[in-house]
Amino acid sequence: MRIGILGAGQLAKMMALAGQPLGCQFVFIDPAPDACAASLGEHHVLDWSDQAVLAVLKHCDRVTFDFENVDSSMLKQLAQVTMVRPSILALEASQDRLKEKSLLHQLGLPVAPYAEVSSRPELLAAVEKVGLPAVIKTRRFGYDGKGQSLVRTQEDLEATWQALGGHALIAESLVDFTHECAISAVRDERGQIRIYPLTHTLHKHGILRFALSPSSANAPFVDEAKAIVTQLIESLDYIGCLTVEFFVTHAGLVVNEIAPRVHNSAHWTIEGSACSQFENHIRAIADWPLGDTEGHGVSLMINFIGRMPSKDMLQISGLHWHDYGKVPRAGRKVGHATWQLGSFDELTEKLDDLSDFLADDEVQWLMDLIKQAG
């Protein structure tokens, strides 16, 4: 089984690490010569829309991707010569926030009020429709909080237009949430679905910092989250792993966004479940039986942003290390750790062991998470 991946970042790297024991070989397309998955297979330094990609990947049994801003016209050409998983339909929906919201709305799933914005007058009308505060986002190419602007008052509108006006936009009502969570599911060729536990997530400045599973704060929402991800994954005739991110409000769950790929909020499944999201994505696209998605114990995933901490952190019992091998840079996800414990009580008791290796703001965010979850 030869698998081509568009993108050779950390998600591709973790897919390859999971796929190697299954007997898979990997071919990566990434324009960055130092892309971090490169050493785990054959790396072609090509732009994703380069026509040479076709000649390289047509010899793969399957093609998948590790980020959603793939050129969908290239995927359509690839789908003529090999099997592309998941479907281009799911990818296109997730590439455009307006299409994504429309899809969710059509399925009757809970989303925040939204409106299309393609001109300065439309911005005003949209904000009137969705109310203030609102978040103005580029419809395409946003990630980790990039391409977004918060509008609290009418006075913020001009600055927002100056910053984002050159792009197709969407206005969304700012959701007043108590916390955030995410759920990941995997579906195979025969329509079998396995769902991972609902995960408590904490973002700061638009970047995921911590993920915790399970969280008692999420217990009331598990059935609804499972129903939503099931409806979505079936409606898209989806094959592979998909994640839905939610806001948890006093009125219940609101879908924030969907990711048609393996996702940061489920990295903890490498150690916290029998079959990780990465392995199940490979199993699903390769048409092999899916693995168990139940969680065991308590898993806390900690993202490392900008640089890796000292290796002394490995002395923490039950801590699993994931250095992506990326050059350190402010704001860049360079790695993560998953701390695997027997119970939430054990986590709170041992929290000081972890705090020694985190920055002050990170410790504060972790305390916020523990407070939300407990």
- How far apart CA 101 and CA 173 sit, in angstroms, is 12
Among the listed residues 48, 67, 321, 365, the single contact to a copy of itself using CB under 8 A: 321
Among the listed residues 154, 162, 315, 364, the single contact to a copy of itself using CB under 8 A: 315
Compute CA 294 distance to the chain's CA centroid, rounded to the nearest angstrom: 19
- How far apart CA 4 and CA 42 sit, in angstroms, is 9
Select 211 or 217, whichever has its Cβ closest to a copy of itself.
211
DSSP one-letter string for 58-96: TTSSEEEESSS---HHHHHHHHHHSEESS-HHHHHHHHS
Site for a copy of itself in 286-305 (CB under 8 A): 288-289, 291-292
Select 95 or 340, whichever has its Cβ closest to a copy of itself.
340
Structure tokens at 186: 């995997």
Type of residue found at 310: S
DSSP one-letter string for 196-256: PPPEEEEEETTEEEEEEES-GGGGGGHHHHHHHHHHHHHHTT--EEEEEEEEEETTEEEEE
Give the interface segment with a copy of itself, choosing from 151-159, 164-172, 198-206, 284-292 (CB under 8 A). 284-292
Instruction: Give 55's Cβ-side CA count (13 Å radius).
Output: 5
| Residue 365 contacts a copy of itself per CB under 8 A | no
Among the listed residues 52, 219, 274, 359, the single contact to a copy of itself using CB under 8 A: 274
| Residue 332 contacts a copy of itself per CB under 8 A | no
- How far apart CA 31 and CA 11 sit, in angstroms, is 16
Among the listed residues 32, 219, 314, 359, the single contact to a copy of itself using CB under 8 A: 314
| Residue 348 contacts a copy of itself per CB under 8 A | no
- How far apart CA 356 and CA 319 sit, in angstroms, is 14
Applying CB under 8 A, the site for a copy of itself has a residue count of 32
Select 23 or 121, whichever has its Cβ closest to a copy of itself.
23
Compute CA 90 distance to the chain's CA centroid, rounded to the nearest angstrom: 14
Among the listed residues 3, 6, 7, 13, the single contact to a copy of itself using CB under 8 A: 13
Q: Are 63 and 3 in contact (CB under 8 A)?
A: yes
- How far apart CA 90 and CA 263 sit, in angstroms, is 15
- How far apart CA 336 and CA 156 sit, in angstroms, is 36
Among the listed residues 106, 250, 311, 330, the single contact to a copy of itself using CB under 8 A: 311
Among the listed residues 2, 20, 87, 350, the single contact to a copy of itself using CB under 8 A: 20
Most distant CA pair in the chain, distance = 58
Task: Please name the residues in contact with 285: beta carbons below 8 A apart, sequence gap of 6 or more.
Answer: 3, 62, 64, 83, 85, 86, 239, 240
| Residue 318 contacts a copy of itself per CB under 8 A | yes
Site for a copy of itself in 27-86 (CB under 8 A): 39-42
CB of 79 to a copy of itself, least distance (A): 24
| Residue 317 contacts a copy of itself per CB under 8 A | yes
Select 224 or 323, whichever has its Cβ closest to a copy of itself.
323
Among the listed residues 23, 108, 121, 166, the single contact to a copy of itself using CB under 8 A: 23
Binding site for a copy of itself (CB under 8 A): 13, 17, 20-23, 25-26, 39-42, 274, 283, 288-289, 291-292, 308, 311-312, 314-315, 317-318, 320-323, 325, 335, 340
